[in-house]
Chains A and B, each alone.
Chain A
């Protein structure tokens, strides 16, 4: 999309991510998405009178990993209380880092090399989740509201970029790369649609070269696609107002995905006074030098480095392969691929199986060990099982956690012996004399037809290469 001549967008993004800790930020309740409402709760995350918070070490560690991956300075930090009344916030204040965050002054390089500054990446607790029953789906006009406190106290890190992006494409690339980084360091599952990663966009416009304009903050952006749409809608709206001689009011706006537009949520004047003050129930967070060094030493490889490594293995990288590599890295599936390559499997085959079969069942990835992945595609590569069988074995491992050997035995996935195949192929030739004639005349496309027929007859148990060999032998 291009803006009217002479106009430029200025975009800064605030990305919230839930951390993949075993337990919540200040209590021992499970941090577990999708449990029955109000089952992962205790006096602390329900804010019952007398309860007190104790910081979760794992959350601090993941926050430090994020800081390191974003080239931030990690510092001793403090927590504040952000005071406002809302029914899904049990204490009616949120514990959040305020003037002294754990991570500050970093940057993120987009894949094209464009650098976006990171102002801070701070820790805070999530709120509960309110479901409004009634027509509007929002709190106004709801007949009844139900609150689930399972999410209350889940650890979040909020990553605040500088106002450095100038196009919606850059904003998209920033969120995509940030997501890949968060997944790579094991801090987040990166799922925007499920709300475990949430993006607020600060958008303003200006004539090129002029000072920044007044910004609006856009909330309720739930996918990369809506991020791009929302930013573009908002920039055009602001330009229209300005070109008509109006002024932009600083405000928070709500993105409506269905209508494709933003609307006023609250103006700056209506903004709450959060009465921040130092949280007296917590002590300053001061990770030891030893701990920090240990986290730095064990930081996993980051997406940019992984993409380079996989590209180097492929050699000449086509656009399609670049996408496959990006998918594998984004979903943090590179360990499978690198291990498979180390075990002697061609990198393209490993990339393809990871980016397709494994990626399609990403929720189930814990069922698939690296060994099982290697075992399956090595058998495929050696011709022990067909490509169809190999894909099915992977999907079955992901679904059940069983071993490839067991699945192959259970399903009878043995490649049919050549003798058995010859009989079946003879039958197919007899049933399709015209096609056979074309094959004999040398039409290469007919090979696929015969392989397909054989696969059908053998329920996928034939090896395509073997079938071709037999066909060629029969042609003489």
Chain B
């Protein structure tokens, strides 16, 4: 047991905390107002008095059919937006019948190999009324095209569809590692979606610039913040290079942050995020529209903080993390289920997770006024320090020539690896307590878990075989050829937007794998240089 005199008080990220904060820590600080530049206190004057955050549980498993049932269940339980989890083959641009999909179909999310699966996924769900977020990255343009095609089938005008596409390829190289193609062609595809969205889907967020995964990979809070915002700037640079005006697309850039365990560090992080982004939009990019400057974000409570041991403790962790996200002004929230360390959420577990949000929203009173912790000596000082530390990282990456050179040199990846090892050593030595794991252990009761067997894979393969038979294969072939030519481009001419070609291919029931193979032929496949 460490003597009190020796003990360092730090946030979970290692930021030192003073014994006391007082007026001198905020002297001269202009905290600002909610709804006013730079939006540190929130992007709306009334925040949750006007409208609650969207309760949006990330969900998907086994087959599109079973996932559709879960969506109906969650909406009936009071969830207010949908969020699609896809399985690993889909995330990696492989059909369910690909050799590499063996054993993986439906295990981490819903398998979607074609428009047919997307139709099943949203059966009975009115896309003109329900907002949908899709966690998909490398092949995001393809899944988005499928989604838009389903909306069209439902008679919903694309001007009305509302939702979010994660589509943040940079963080794949940094953290989640679900890349297919190399960085530059991938950025071209992302820019295609941003451009297409600006023209055709004014209510849809074509990108969700993410820190969640960076944090799950083991980064500190400041690294999560800095790498996310710098990724955002990279997307802005590419869209401007494409010829878009900042205010044409920036209002629809959205963000996704982790809601981790250190309560005040997280709230400070969200507040600093809004301030840094607002100032960057106005000063770095010359944005004129307020909507370009207002950072909107979804938050998910930290999966990596949840334990195998004593899983009911996870309900408590999730509640505290969710509270931080709410006090930090999130627009949308996913709360993890208690069985996070074991399996995809069981029905009972996900219901408790949703109820956690509902208790916060309706019973806790924290929604009654915007930024209720604003003016706290501790929080304002921590917000300022977080902002300064994040800006230092952003400048460092600027000096490297931007995020792509930084990624190619392994910079963010090595920062994350070092932080995650440092954290694990703290847990290992007992310096950092994880209740139930390295302290306060006790006998566990087994919990009921969602089981996903191999029948999902068999079902999906059979469906695909029938699809490949009955579709117009000549139309498929033509559409893939046209897509490949558009992807290749012609010499120095400005690249064509691939979205119209992808739309034609998906409507012909070309499969995800076939479309991605066309892209693989043109762009090649990316292999990362492994660094420990």
Is chain B a partner of chain A in the same complex?
Answer: no
Q: Could you tell me which A residues sit within 8 Å of B by CB distance? A: none
